[in-house]
Amino acid sequence: MGQFQLLSDISLCQMFHAEHLLASAPVAGESSESGPLPMILFILFGGITAGAGFSVAIAKNIVRAAVGLLFALAGMSGLYLLLNAEFIAAVQLVVYVGGTLILIVFGVMLTSKSPRTTYAPKRGEVIWACIVTLLVGAPVMAILVSTFNKIAPPEIAATLPATAIAATSPATSGDSRAAIGMLGQQYPMQSMGRALIDPAGFLVPFELVSVLLLAVMIGAAYLAKGRRAKSQPGGAA
């Protein structure tokens, strides 16, 4: 176990390489290669997400933009599944696609006189928008890719943990299972729930978010019906 405690002292770069060693160790007897399927799924979901995102940007009709947003959010859910965040993928589908997007679509329907109203931006606006986007996006892309290309070992397949768990969990002690960490996490949802009610974890933000949701519920209801209640008292309740 000493080697894992040493991990906290060495640099980030070495730690990522150490993770690679750690990850490949449990599956030494089996093939860690799971075929081309993860890459195919990544290209599928990533392409859907990025393409739908840009279709939101260039759509002239707001309803088409909403449909593009639907595909972008659903593709994000697939990417979360590839990253072994099953719970977050489900929450993304339920809250974002099922809740926030429906809210936005209702907003579109309530605020447009005709669903076919379109707005084509002027050529100068398009040029300026593209310049700003490239000014922000290109440096971020360059920095992220150049930095994490070096320290992220490409050998970690996105589907590794399932095989790693199956290979190690019956025999290994709880100690090394904790050391394997999320790579060998058996019940991520359990630890997620524990982290949310752990005072040393996320208990305070969890409670604050519940207060925030209450405030938002009251505030949104007040904002949305305030004017109508004033004009016709008693009829809006």
164 binds another protein (CB under 8 A): no
Residue 177's alpha-carbon distances to 35, 156, 180, 185, in angstroms, are: 26, 18, 5, 7
Least gap, CB of 204 to another protein (angstroms): 11
Within 72-91, the residues that bind another protein by CB under 8 A are 72-73, 76, 79-80, 82-85, 87-88, 91
DSSP state of 60: S
Q: Does 145 bind another protein (CB under 8 A)?
A: yes
Of 166 and 224, nearer to another protein (C-beta) is 224
180-199 positions binding another protein, by CB under 8 A: 180-183, 185, 188, 191-192, 195-196
Q: Is 56 in the site for another protein (CB under 8 A)?
A: yes
The Cα–Cα gap between 5 and 18 comes to 12
Among 24, 71, 90, 152, binds another protein (CB under 8 A): 152
Which residues does 237 contact at the CB level (< 8 Å), separation at least 6? Answer: 229
CA nearest neighbour of 77 among 64, 90, 66, 68: 90
Kindly report the CA angle at 77 between 76 and 82, in degrees rounded to 5?
95
Output the smallest distance, CB 230 to another protein, in A.
Answer: 11
Q: Tell me which residues in 4-43 interact with another protein (CB under 8 A).
A: 4-5, 7-8, 12, 15-16, 18-19, 22, 36, 38-39, 42
Question: Element (H or E) spanning 27, and its range?
Answer: none
Task: Assess 217 for contact with another protein (CB under 8 A).
Answer: yes
